[in-house]
Amino acid sequence: MPIYQTGGYEVNPSAIPKVKQAIAEFVEYVKANEPGTEMYLAWQEKDNPAKFLHLFIFKDAEAAKKHGESDAVRKFESVYSPELVGGGVVFTDYEMPAGKRDVRN
């Protein structure tokens, strides 16, 4: 059963460039190494560019576990974690009662 999840956080404004670079590198890793991660999007808030929201769809619990235990996650966390403001990353699980996905990407 698919797992739908978001992870939101805010970083120090001075850290935005390095966090964005780390996001880009991390997403490339996910694309190349995590076939069970069916979707991984990283969004940056327009009105507050220090806020980020990541959207995930994992094929199943095993794919989510593989993602969460990867060395790439630890590397990414080492970049943004020291820069967090207003608390840690807030992960939220969802169900999808309806939707549309373009899977050409």
pLDDT tens per residue, range 17-54: 999 999 999 999 999 999 999 999 999 999 999 999 99
- Residue 104 has a pLDDT of 62
Nearest to 52 by CA among 25, 77, 27, 16: 16
How far lies 56's CA from each of 4, 9, 37, 40, 92, in Å?
6, 15, 7, 5, 10
Predicted pLDDT at 64: 97
- Residue 90 bridge partners (DSSP): 8
Which among 58, 84, 85 has a CA at the least distance from the CA of 69? 58
* CA 40 from centroid of its chain's CA atoms: 6
- CA 56, 104, 72, 1: dihedral to nearest 10 degrees? 40
Supply the pLDDT for residue 93: 96
42, 45, 48, 49: CA torsion to nearest 10: 40
